[in-house]
Structure 1
Amino acid sequence: MTSKDERLIFLEQMKDVRRIRRPNRAEVSTPRELTPGHLERQRSAVDSPLRDANPLTAADVDPLTAHDILSWQRPGVQHGVFRKLRLGHYPIEARLDLHRMTVETARREVFRFIRDCVHYGLRSVIILHGKGERNPDGIAQLKSYLAKWLPELEDVLAFHSAQKHHGGTGAVYVMVRKGDQQKQRNRELHGAR
């Protein structure tokens, strides 16, 4: 069969087909009446506003300067472990850079970052907050908030300002608790005690 024969067969098959006269567009007009579903969703949104699951407070904080050292450990963290963290001897498994973020954005990012570290089993991380040296008042705003936020997170075991080669007082090492999967893996490897 030649291409001419195929074309004739095609035209014969399509002889009753007519062009659609309407434009090929969906009608997207909004309904003018509120349905019971609309009213219920509105009532629900007003009655129960979104709850912020982030426990980090945005309240007043003690102002810190560029050269203030951040240092904190939860009771029960061994002194040798804290010393290794302070000296930067643990490998940095993840980093979060807060430079140029607003306080509210940084608040969300710190909460999300620590939660993700626990989920993925990351234990030793660094947060770069900057020194605030360019601020005319000399206050390191993000650093001040971070010093308040980190102890508020149960998953944070300890933190300390970084060594000079990792950003010095413009960054902080953070030790994160083991996630449930990591704890279970350790129990299996070393036996339940």
Structure 2
Amino acid sequence: MKRRPAPSISDEDARLFREAIGEVRQLDPVELPPQTPKPEPRAHMFEADEAAVPAELLDMAFDPGLLEIGEELSYLRDGYPPKLLRQLKRGQFSVQDDIDLHHMNAAAAQQTIIEFLAEAHHHGLRCVRIVHGKGLRSKATGPVLKVLTDRLLRRRDDVIAFASARPAQGGTGAVVVLLKD
């Protein structure tokens, strides 16, 4: 819809308007009431999660002390110098690609690892990272994906070494893998 230009007001119309309104007085400016500060945000879900921890610890069907969840994974194929594993643990190799196995079952994770390593080999990648998680929600079975990743990588001929990632790269919830050229 097009806007029409405002009609021009004649002097006669302006005079009639002022007469009809009468005398006008200016109102004093009104101060706005002070603004009340907004409440600080609260992390309701975090608080609920923290409150649920004691009950979950009591319901565990296993002794968490028997699990080696925090244990670092480490492997070096025979015939390679230990210096390679030390360098890998120190993060001296640049991670060229990575994959995340979270929310996968064991069969899907195994297939994903196999395909990921094949793709890495195809592209000539030397160092990759596999995020398997720490297995904190695996109940009595322990860290399923972590154990699966460890077992699978030890059996592969194209894996020279692997070690748990540095804390900034996932810590014991991820593994950095050194592949053959």
Residue 80 of structure 2 aligns to a residue in which SS? Answer: coil
C-alpha displacement at 1:66, in angstroms? 2.0
Any idea what the Cα deviations from partners look like across 1:52-101, whole Å, max 9, x if unmatched? xxxxxxxxxxx963212111110122222211111111111000100010
Query: Which residue of 1 is the match for residue 110 of structure 2?
Result: 107
C-alpha displacement at 1:138, in angstroms? 6.8
* Residues 91 and 116 of structure 1: CA distance in aligned 2, closer, same or farther (over 3 Å): same
Corresponding residue pairs, total: 116
C-alpha displacement at 1:115, in angstroms? 1.1
Query: Which residue of 1 is the match for residue 81 of structure 2?
Result: 78
Aligned AA for 1:88?
Answer: G
The answer to whether the Cα contact below 8 Å between 1:99 and 1:129 also exists between their aligned partners in 2 is: yes
* Residues 135 and 109 of structure 1: CA distance in aligned 2, closer, same or farther (over 3 Å): same
Residue 96 of structure 1 aligns to a residue in which SS? Answer: strand
Q: Does 1:160 align with 2:171?
A: no
TM-score, length of structure 2 as denominator length: 0.61
Q: Does 1:67 align with 2:70?
A: yes
C-alpha displacement at 1:136, in angstroms? 2.6
* Amino-acid identity (%): 35
The answer to whether the Cα contact below 8 Å between 2:75 and 2:85 also exists between their aligned partners in 1 is: no
TM-score, length of structure 1 as denominator length: 0.57
Residue 137 of structure 1 aligns to a residue in which SS? Answer: helix
Q: Which has more radius of gyration?
A: 2
Any idea what the Cα deviations from partners look like across 1:6-61, whole Å, max 9, x if unmatched? xxxxxxxxxxxxxxxxxxxxxxxxxxxxxxxxxxxxxxxxxxxxxxxxxxxxxxxx
The answer to whether the Cα contact below 8 Å between 1:64 and 1:141 also exists between their aligned partners in 2 is: no
Q: Mind listing any 5+ residue stretches in structure 2 that lack a counterpart?
A: 1-65
The answer to whether the Cα contact below 8 Å between 1:67 and 1:131 also exists between their aligned partners in 2 is: yes
What does residue range 22-171 of structure 1 map to in structure 2 within 5 Å?
65-137=68-140, 139-171=142-174
Aligned AA for 2:169?
Answer: H
Query: Which residue of 1 is the match for residue 35 of structure 2?
Result: none
Query: Partners of 1:147 and 1:71 in 2: how far apart?
Result: 9
Residue 69 of structure 1 aligns to a residue in which SS? Answer: coil
CA RMSD of aligned residues (A): 1.6
The answer to whether the Cα contact below 8 Å between 1:65 and 1:138 also exists between their aligned partners in 2 is: no
Query: Partners of 1:130 and 1:79 in 2: how far apart?
Result: 26
The answer to whether the Cα contact below 8 Å between 1:66 and 1:138 also exists between their aligned partners in 2 is: no
